[in-house]
Amino acid sequence: MADTSAKNGHGAEKGSSHDRARIWGGIDLGGTKIEAVVVDARGEVLGRARHVTPVSGGPGQVVKELYGTLGEAAQTAGTEPSKLAGVGVGAPGSVDANSGTLARTGNVAGGWDAPYPIASDLGDLVGGRVVMGNDVQVAVAAEYKLGAGRNYRSILGVWWGTGVGGGLVLNGVPWRGQGSAGEIGHMVVKPGGARCGCGRRGCLEAYAGRASMERKAHAAVKKGRKTILFDIMRDKGRTRLSSGVWARALKEKDPLATELIDRAVAMLGMTIASVINLLDVEAVIFGGGLGSRLGAPFVDRIADAMHPHLFITERKPAMHVAELGDLSGAIGAALLAGPQM
């Protein structure tokens, strides 16, 4: 590799300081956005970029957008994808880390059911190694190592966004079970209840996931309910009810938005309390679009909603908002690719 010694506007050097031995890429594939970072061996973010998740074109188009977002992040870091030591991808759905495939991506627009070789296809574009992990599991691992979970040995991560994901670190070890541990969004809170995006009924995600709440809002409007949710969406130039749309509607005390978020908070409290009763972790970390955007006031509300369902009420877990914010998933994916701290 030639040493160009050129610097970008961030003071990052190309060449010997940014070679395959020292920097990694991480990509967080979300239902509405793709976030990419380039990090060094300490987990410090050298460059970042965000693109909108494609709403059509299937997995092939998603892979192209993953590469485009990574390329932009690499450019801001003064490098390029081919010079990265490795790339990690955190994705929702059924991830097979061994084969590098992703299936059942219900919360990604234009989602697909059959396993698709994302790692292989993206690796061909990058010209290097690509590894995959569950999006929330890698985000929780990043918070455990670098963020709000670093002072605890056992944590539960709850990522409240398009869906509701979860991740666990137990006694210092990320707990993945047989690969899908932590799927708190698919714990049943109401047998025979609302239809979830996974196809089953009564899951937490069917009541608290942003996509499910958006479907509920559309149905309510068709029945004559009034709401400013979709007006705000259009004002913001969005095609979906993003976390920012929900936050503004709540600030303006929109009745439908308030009703749906109140229901989500109640269901989150009930479910998280059940996990605490089972595992007795020290802390709960909240991330995801809604978790990060609504922040500490809503974490406090969820803690209140948990209280009636806790078995040991005098020993409550600590409750925190993810410190790495929107970047926790992308940073965690990059850590998955190689840097160890």
> Hey, what amino acid is at 143?
E
Is-contact 206 271, C-beta < 8 A? Answer: no
The encoded tokens of residue 272 equal 């998280």
* Tens-place pLDDT, residues 86-105: 999 999 878 888 899 998 77
Whole-prediction pTM:
0.84
* Tens-place pLDDT, residues 237-264: 998 999 999 999 999 999 999 999 999 9
Question: How far, in Å, CA of 90 to CA of 148, rounded?
Answer: 19
* Tens-place pLDDT, residues 126-141: 999 999 998 899 999 9
pLDDT of 46 > 60? The answer is yes
- What are the DSSP calls for 101-148, one per residue? EEE--TTSTT--SS-B-HHHHHHHHHTS-EEEEEHHHHHHHHHHHHST
* Tens-place pLDDT, residues 15-30: 434 445 589 999 999 8
The encoded tokens of residue 298 equal 């809503």
pLDDT of 340 > 70? The answer is no
The predicted structure's pLDDT at residue 35: 95
